[in-house]
Amino acid sequence: MQAYTAISGSRLPTAAAIAMKGAAAMPHRSDAMTAKPVGVARVLGKGEEVFAEGDAAEFFYKVVSGTVRTYKLLNDGRRQIDAFHLAGDIFGLETGEEHRFSADAVDAAKIVAFRRRRFETLAHDDPELGDQVMSSMMRSLERAHDHMMLLGRKTAQEKVASFLLDMSRRVSKGDRFDLPMQRTDIADHLGLTIETVSRTLTQFAREGLIKLAAASRSVVLCDKDALRRLNA
């Protein structure tokens, strides 16, 4: 609710450039949302802010290395992390005039900023980045929607299983990987508490579905099928 009220009444973010069909079909009018390689890399320390909710969305970003989280806060501090962005991911792309999330570094990270501009210009100047931007937006939507299902209707076990499989797919080629974020972040992403996340992971480990090690950041998925079954 907060967000609607925040914007309501003032201006409607002008035309945003979202294609209805693939990268070829692109918007159009005025200052839309995308891109131009500004290309200075920026190094972020752990926890360093990239932008805050409500900031003018002048740039969007691509993760070079490390991990960035985007999130919203409730006035009493409750946090919902909508996504973790890993190397290669684009984040901070808005259809409106301001950022609807805050973003900061989960760990030491490196990002590149792009000045936002009309998508067609971007697509023309740098077709490859244009494609990346498009598919990034599509994935973002898709993920947001799947995540609603997870948050609204899945159990703690299912949430954690989903999360592990997702991270595995994204960060590892095999079944072993390191989680870049801590329990608090996982909890705020899955709509759980850190204790529940921890207990669930421990339980998975006891049951032989996973192995944990090294400050519990390192994970091995031993029984992906069982996890997938849990994933509902």
Q: Which does 95 bind (CB under 5 to 8 A by kind): DNA, a second copy, none?
A: a second copy
- Identify residues 163-182 at the interface with a second copy (CB under 8 A): 165-166, 169
Give exposure, 136-161, as e/b (b: 16+ Cβ within 10 Å): bbeebeeeeeebeebeeebebbbbbb
| Candidate list 49, 125, 142, 195; residue touching a second copy; CB under 8 A | 142
* Residue 118 in contact with a second copy, rule: CB under 8 A: yes
- Identify residues 58-87 at the interface with a second copy (CB under 8 A): 60, 72, 74-76, 78-80, 82
* Residue 92 in contact with a second copy, rule: CB under 8 A: no
* Residue 211 in contact with a second copy, rule: CB under 8 A: no
Put the strands of the sheet holding 79-85 in their side by side order.
49-51, 102-105, 68-73, 79-85
Cα–Cα distance, 41 to 228 (Å, whole number): 38
* Residue 20 in contact with a second copy, rule: CB under 8 A: yes
Structure tokens at 126: 């740098």
CB of 108 to a second copy, least distance (A): 27
Kindly tell me the sign of the dihedral angle through the C-alpha atoms of 5, 138, 42, 65.
positive
Cα–Cα distance, 74 to 103 (Å, whole number): 15
Q: Which of 121, 117, 129 is nearest to 31 (CA)?
A: 117
CB of 59 to a second copy, least distance (A): 11
The dihedrals phi and psi of 62, each to the nearest 5 degrees, come to: -130, 135
153 Cβ contact list (under 8 Å, min separation 6): none
| Candidate list 90, 103, 113, 134; residue touching a second copy; CB under 8 A | 134
What Rg do the C-alpha atoms of the chain give, in angstroms?
A: 19
H or E stretch covering 206: helix 194-206
Cα–Cα distance, 197 to 176 (Å, whole number): 19
CB of 90 to DNA, least distance (A): 26
**Residue placing its CB nearer to DNA in the complex, 107 or 120:** 107
CB of 58 to DNA, least distance (A): 30
Candidates 17-25, 36-44, 197-205, 213-221; binding stretch for a second copy (CB under 8 A): 17-25
* Residue 74 in contact with DNA, rule: CB under 7 A: no
**Residue placing its CB nearer to a second copy in the complex, 76 or 214:** 76
- Identify residues 163-222 at the interface with DNA (CB under 7 A): 182-184, 191-199, 201-202, 212, 214-217
CB of 176 to a second copy, least distance (A): 20
* Contact residues: DNA, CB under 7 A: 155-157, 182-184, 191-199, 201-202, 212, 214-217
